[in-house]
Amino acid sequence: MKGRKPKHLALKILQGNPGGRPLEGSGDPFTVGRPEKPEALDKFASGEWDRLVSQLAPVLTAASRGMLFVCVDAYSQMMQAAAVLQKKGLTYTTKTESGSVMIRKRPEVSIKENARNAYHKSLCELGASPVAQTRVHPLPTQQRKLSGVKKLLG
């Protein structure tokens, strides 16, 4: 959609909001919070949960729990499929009705690939990829909830 670029919230606040319209994003911001770890995680998912929560602490909120679960579940599926592939290889052989031998890829290859894509997408949503890090800013803590011009000065 063409048109003017939207003004940054800080600039709108400084200009005094002459139109009097409600400012988007000027309500209470999400604040940093440690999402509660689900009990039903396996060893791969549990370890990845702990690693991500410690690494992404400045941008996580309690509302991040669902996306984190999607991320660590995909990681777990990827690691389980990788373990099977390491043990059994990427392919298996089977015989057709005519007696010829066919080489096929294991189902775990597709499982791993789909899980890797889901893991990558969820990491991007959480701000953990190098490109996403340029767009994600640390959230304020409970003590730093400020309003109006104080947000600009703090």
74-109: pLDDT as tens digits: 999 999 999 999 999 999 999 999 999 999 999 999
**Model confidence band, residue 9 (pLDDT cutoffs 50, 70, 90):** low
Distance between CA atoms of 93 and 101, rounded to whole angstroms? Answer: 7
Side-chain-facing half-sphere of 9: CA atoms under 13 Å = 13
Distance between CA atoms of 83 and 57, rounded to whole angstroms? Answer: 30
The phi and psi torsions of 33 (rounded to 5 degrees) equal: -160, 150
Q: CB within 8 A of 149, min separation 6: which ones?
A: 13, 14
The phi and psi torsions of 105 (rounded to 5 degrees) equal: -85, 145
Identity at 20, one-letter amino acid code: G
| Structure confidence at residue 27 (pLDDT) | 45
| Structure confidence at residue 134 (pLDDT) | 72
| Structure confidence at residue 13 (pLDDT) | 62
**Model confidence band, residue 46 (pLDDT cutoffs 50, 70, 90):** very high
Concatenated DSSP letters of 28-60: PPP----PPPPTT--HHHHHHHHHHHHHSGGG-
| Structure confidence at residue 7 (pLDDT) | 67
Q: Residue 122 in 3-state DSSP?
A: helix
Give yes or no for residue 29 having a pLDDT over 50.
Answer: no
